[in-house]
C-alpha cells in the first residue's frame, strides 16, 4: 500500500523545559506471588515481569559508557522485555532478536539517491500536490526530499515485523551504547506483532489520515508503555544512562512535516490511557482488532465519530487528468490532524494569523498549549504543556478528498488540485473558509474580480478558487487563473466570504446543527492497488522546541517494514537525545 506520509512506531513526546513528575502506574501482582504464566515461550515457567530469570526491577551492574558487551546487551534486553510485560500486563510469546546497524549503513538504506523509476516519479509528483495543498512543501522543494530530510540523521532503532527483530542504529566504531527507552518502545511493537500481526492489512491505511489514525493506536500503546517506563526510571527502577551522542542531528527539518508525524504520538497514548482507565486492556485489544480510520477519532477520543460520505465527479477539461493509480482511486484524505498542521505551520513559518491570539502566542514561543482532551493525561505525567491538534477552524471536520491533477498537454507541464472538504455544520465550514482566506492573505494574495485569489513570487504561488456552499468548502488550485475554471468549470466563488480575525463570529443559524447520524454516514472504502507506491515503513519525531528554532531535546522513534509494496521506503526509527 502506498504511504503519503512517513509515520512510525515510536516514542514519548517531551516539550521544552518540562520534567516528568511521579505518577501512579498500572498495578499488577508482584512477580514473586501468584500470577499468570507464559503460554508458549522458552521461559514458560516464569511469570509476567520476568524474562529468562531477569526481573523487571532487577539492578544490573552495567555501565555502558565504555560500551556494552554481548552478554551485557542480553541482560538489558531481558530486563527490558520483563518491563514491557510488567507495564502491559501480558507475556511475550517468544524471544525478540536484537541486532545493530551503523549510522552510515542506515543512511544508505533510506537514501533517496539514484534515478527514480517511472512509478516513483508519478507518486512523488502526486504527493507533491498533497503537501502543496497543505501549504507545507512549496515549489522550492519536493515532498520526497523534505520527508527524507526529516529522518536521515537521527534514527536510533526500529522493529521489523517481516523479520521479527529489532535493529538498533549505532555509532561507527566498537563501543555499543543504546537507549533503553528506545529498546522498551520497540519491544512493545514486537509484542504487538506477536499478538496482532502488524503486517495485517488493517494496520495499513488507504489514506494519509487513515495512516495517522492507525498509528494513533499502534504508537499510542507503545508510547503509553514507554511513558510508564520513564516514570518508573525516575521513581523506582534502575535504568541505563542515556548513550553518548554520535554526532548526528536532525538536519534542516520541515516542521510542518514533523508536526504532522507527531500527532499519533501526542494523542495516541491519551486515547490508550482513556481506554485502560475506563475499560481495561481488553478495550485496547478490541481497538487493535478494528483500528480507527480518521485522525479526528483519535484527536477527540471518539471512536464512533464517522466521516460523511463525499461523492466526487471529475468535471475538468480533457487536458487535465487525475492519478487513478495513486492514493484511494486518485484521491488523498489528509484529515483533521493535517489540516490543523497546515494552519499551525503557516503561523509558525510565515506568521499567518490562523490560530487565534492564545495559540498564536504559543506558536511564537514554539510551544503548543495543552487542550481539554490531553490535559489530564499529560499533567499526570508532569507536563505543563503539550502539543494540541484542536482548533475551531478544524474541529468540525467531517471528511475531505484531495484530488491532485496533471496537465501534460503543450510544451509546459502543469499541476493542480481539487480539494473537497465537508464540515459538521455551516458554521464549521465558514470558520475553515475564513481561516484559509487569512492564510492566503498572509502570502500577499490579490483577489481578482472573478473571485480568484492570486499569489505571486511565492513557493505557494498560483491561482486559488475557494467555494463555500453550506457544509462544503471546495478549494481549486492551478498555476494560472484560467486553470481554476478548467479544473472546476462549475465553481462558484460568489459565496466565499472573508472574515478577519478581529470580526465576531456570526450567530449560529438553524442550519448549524450537528450532522445527524443519517447524514454522517461512513465513507466509502476504496480499493487500492497493491502496486501503488508508498512507504513500507514509518518514522516519528519527538520534538522539543525552545526559543527561535533551537532544540533542547530531540527524540525520534521508529518501527520498520510492514512488507508494503513501495518503490521508496523510509524506515521507522527512534532518535534519542543528542
Residues 500 and 511 in one domain: yes
Alpha-carbon distance of 474 to 272, in angstroms, equals: 35
Q: Please give the pLDDT value at position 107.
A: 73
Count the domains in the chain.
Answer: 2
Dihedral sign computed on CA atoms, order 270, 275, 277, 281: negative
Q: Please give the pLDDT value at position 369.
A: 61
Residues 63 and 181 in one domain: yes
Residues 259 and 290 in one domain: yes
**pLDDT: is 302 or 499 the higher one?**
302
Q: Please give the pLDDT value at position 149.
A: 73
Q: Please give the pLDDT value at position 87.
A: 96
Residues 549 and 488 in one domain: no
Residues 234 and 350 in one domain: no
Confidence of residue 385 (pLDDT cuts 50, 70, 90): low
Residues 314 and 224 in one domain: no
Residues 301 and 313 in one domain: no
Residues 77 and 16 in one domain: yes
- Which residue pairs from 500-509 have beta carbons closer than 8 angstroms and sit at least 24 positions apart in sequence? 500/438, 501/353, 501/356, 501/438, 505/427, 505/431, 506/427, 506/430, 508/425, 508/427, 509/426, 509/427
**pLDDT: is 385 or 484 the higher one?**
484
The mean pLDDT of 306-324, rounded to a whole number, is 95
Please report whether residue 528 resides in a domain: no
**pLDDT: is 525 or 169 the higher one?**
169
Across 300-353, the runs of DSSP E, i.e. the strands, are none
Average pLDDT over the chain, rounded to an integer: 77
Domain around 320:
307-355+391-522
Residue 572: pLDDT over 80 = no
Q: Distance between the two ends of the chain, CA-based, in angstroms?
A: 34
Please report whether residue 266 resides in a domain: yes
Instruction: Record the cell numbers describing residue 29, joined without a space.
Output: 501482582
Residue 529: pLDDT over 50 = no
Q: Please give the pLDDT value at position 511.
A: 44
Phi-psi region of 451 (alpha: psi -120 to 50; beta: other; left: phi over 0): left
Instruction: Record the cell numbers describing residue 416, joined without a space.
Output: 493542480
Q: Please give the pLDDT value at position 364.
A: 64
**pLDDT: is 552 or 502 the higher one?**
502
Backbone angles phi, psi at 465, to 5 degrees: -120, 125
Alpha-carbon distance of 258 to 255, in angstroms, equals: 5
Residue 567: pLDDT over 50 = no
Instruction: Record the cell numbers describing residue 141, joined without a space.
Output: 522543494
Please report whether residue 331 resides in a domain: yes
Residues 411 and 277 in one domain: no
**pLDDT: is 574 or 288 the higher one?**
288
Q: Are strands 453-455 and 446-447 parallel, antiparallel or unpaired?
A: antiparallel
Prediction pTM value: 0.80
Q: Using alpha carbons, select from 335, 360, 336, 398 the residue that is nearest to residue 501.
A: 360
Alpha-carbon distance of 316 to 410, in angstroms, equals: 17
Residue 29: pLDDT over 60 = no
The mean pLDDT of 154-164, rounded to a whole number, is 80
H helix runs in 89-160, sequence order:
103-110, 118-133, 143-149
SS3 72: helix
Confidence of residue 367 (pLDDT cuts 50, 70, 90): low
Q: With contact defined as beta carbons under 8 Å apart, do 462 and 478 qualify?
A: yes
Residues 56 and 150 in one domain: yes
Q: What is the DSSP letter of 571?
A: -
Please report whether residue 31 resides in a domain: no
For the packed helices 180-196 and 70-88, what is the interaxial angle rounded to 10 degrees?
A: 60
Please report whether residue 82 resides in a domain: yes
Instruction: Record the cell numbers describing residue 378, joined without a space.
Output: 499529560
Q: Please give the pLDDT value at position 57.
A: 96
Place of cell 510551544: 367
Q: Please give the pLDDT value at position 379.
A: 78
Q: Please give the pLDDT value at position 89.
A: 96
Residues 373 and 471 in one domain: no
Tens of pLDDT, residue by residue over 93-110, are 999 999 888 878 877 777
Tens of pLDDT, residue by residue over 165-212, are 998 877 777 788 888 998 999 999 999 999 999 999 999 999 999 999
Please report whether residue 127 resides in a domain: no
Q: Using alpha carbons, select from 154, 287, 276 the residue that is nearest to residue 215.
A: 287
SS3 364: helix
Instruction: Record the cell numbers describing residue 85, joined without a space.
Output: 510485560
Confidence of residue 383 (pLDDT cuts 50, 70, 90): low
Q: With contact defined as beta carbons under 8 Å apart, do 346 and 527 qualify?
A: no
Alpha-carbon distance of 55 to 82, in angstroms, equals: 6
Q: With contact defined as beta carbons under 8 Å apart, do 48 and 28 qualify?
A: yes
Q: Please give the pLDDT value at position 244.
A: 73
Residues 407 and 281 in one domain: no
Q: Using alpha carbons, select from 563, 573, 565, 564 the residue that is nearest to residue 541.
A: 573
Please report whether residue 121 resides in a domain: no
The mean pLDDT of 552-557, rounded to a whole number, is 29
Please report whether residue 41 resides in a domain: no
Q: With contact defined as beta carbons under 8 Å apart, do 476 and 416 qualify?
A: yes
Q: Please give the pLDDT value at position 424.
A: 98
Tens of pLDDT, residue by residue over 205-246, are 999 999 999 999 999 999 999 999 999 997 899 999 988 765
Amino acid at each position: 500500500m502506498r504511504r503519503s506520509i512517513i509515520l512510525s512506531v515510536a516514542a514519548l513526546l517531551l516539550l521544552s523545559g518540562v520534567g516528568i513528575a511521579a505518577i501512579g502506574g498500572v498495578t499488577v501482582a508482584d512477580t514473586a506471588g501468584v500470577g499468570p504464566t507464559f503460554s508458549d515461550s522458552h521461559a514458560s515457567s516464569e511469570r509476567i515481569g520476568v524474562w529468562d530469570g531477569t526481573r523487571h526491577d532487577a539492578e544490573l551492574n552495567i555501565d555502558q559508557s565504555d560500551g556494552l558487551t554481548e552478554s551485557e546487551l542480553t541482560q538489558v534486553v531481558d530486563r527490558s522485555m520483563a518491563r514491557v510485560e510488567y507495564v502491559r500486563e501480558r507475556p511475550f510469546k517468544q524471544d525478540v532478536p536484537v541486532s545493530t546497524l551503523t549510522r552510515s549503513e542506515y543512511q544508505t538504506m533510506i537514501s533517496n539517491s539514484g534515478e527514480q523509476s517511472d512509478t516513483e516519479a508519478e507518486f512523488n509528483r502526486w504527493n507533491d500536490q498533497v503537501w502543496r495543498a497543505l501549504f507545507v512543501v512549496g515549489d522550492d522543494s519536493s515532498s520526497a526530499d523534505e520527508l527524507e530530510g526529516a529522518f536521515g540523521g537521527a534514527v536510533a532503532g526500529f522493529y521489523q515485523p517481516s523479520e521479527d527483530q529489532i535493529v538498533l542504529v549505532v555509532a561507527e566504531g566498537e563501543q555499543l551504547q543504546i537507549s533503553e527507552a528506545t529498546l522498551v518502545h520497540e519491544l512493545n511493537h514486537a509484542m504487538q506483532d506477536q499478538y496482532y500481526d502488524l503486517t495485517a492489512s488493517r494496520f495499513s491505511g488507504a489514506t494519509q489520515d487513515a495512516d495517522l489514525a492507525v498509528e494513533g493506536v499502534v504508537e499510542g500503546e507503545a508510547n503509553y508503555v514507554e511513558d510508564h517506563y520513564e516514570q518508573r526510571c525516575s521513581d523506582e527502577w534502575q535504568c541505563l544512562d542515556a548513550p553518548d551522542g554520535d554526532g548526528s542531528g536532525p538536519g534542516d527539518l520541515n516542521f510542518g512535516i514533523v508536526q504532522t508525524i507527531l500527532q499519533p504520538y501526542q494523542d495516541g497514548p491519551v486515547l490508550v490511557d482513556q481506554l485502560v482507565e475506563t475499560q481495561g486492556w481488553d478495550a485496547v485489544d478490541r481497538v487493535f482488532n478494528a483500528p480507527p480510520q480518521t485522525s479526528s477519532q483519535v484527536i477527540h477520543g471518539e471512536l464512533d465519530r464517522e466521516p460523511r460520505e463525499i461523492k466526487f465527479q471529475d468535471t475538468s477539461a480533457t487536458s487535465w487528468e487525475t492519478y487513478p493509480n495513486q492514493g484511494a482511486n486518485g484521491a488523498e484524505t489528509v484529515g483533521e490532524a493535517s489540516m490543523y498542521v497546515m494552519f499551525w505551520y503557516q503561523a509558525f513559518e510565515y506568521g499567518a494569523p490562523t490560530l487565534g491570539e492564545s495559540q498564536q502566542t504559543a506558536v511564537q514561543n514554539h510551544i503548543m498549549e495543552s487542550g481539554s482532551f490531553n490535559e489530564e493525561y499529560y499533567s499526570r505525567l508532569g507536563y505543563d504543556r503539550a502539543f494540541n491538534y484542536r482548533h475551531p477552524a478544524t474541529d468540525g471536520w467531517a471528511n475531505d478528498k484531495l484530488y491532485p491533477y496533471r496537465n501534460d498537454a503543450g510544451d509546459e507541464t502543469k499541476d493542480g488540485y481539487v480539494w473537497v472538504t465537508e464540515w459538521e455544520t455551516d458554521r464549521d465550514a465558514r470558520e475553515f473558509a475564513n481561516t484559509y482566506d487569512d492564510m492566503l492573505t498572509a502570502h500577499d494574495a490579490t483577489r481578482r474580480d472573478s473571485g480568484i485569489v492570486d499569489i505571486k513570487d511565492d513557493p505557494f504561488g498560483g491561482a486559488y478558487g475557494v467555494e463555500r456552499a453550506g457544509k462544503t468548502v471546495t478549494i481549486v488550485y492551478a498555476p494560472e487563473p484560467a486553470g481554476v475554471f478548467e479544473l472546476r468549470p462549475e465553481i462558484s466563488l460568489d459565496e466565499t466570504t472573508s472574515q478577519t480575525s478581529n470580526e465576531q463570529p456570526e450567530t449560529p443559524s438553524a442550519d448549524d446543527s450537528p450532522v445527524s447520524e443519517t447524514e454522517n454516514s461512513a465513507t466509502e472504502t476504496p480499493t487500492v492497488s497493491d502496486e501503488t507506491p508508498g512507504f513500507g515503513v514509518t518514522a516519528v519525531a519527538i520534538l522539543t522546541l525552545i526559543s527561535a528554532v533551537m532544540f533542547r531535546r530531540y527524540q525520534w522513534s521508529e518501527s520498520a517494514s510492514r512488507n508494503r509494496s513501495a518503490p521508496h521506503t523510509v524506515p521507522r526509527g527512534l532518535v534519542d537525545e543528542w
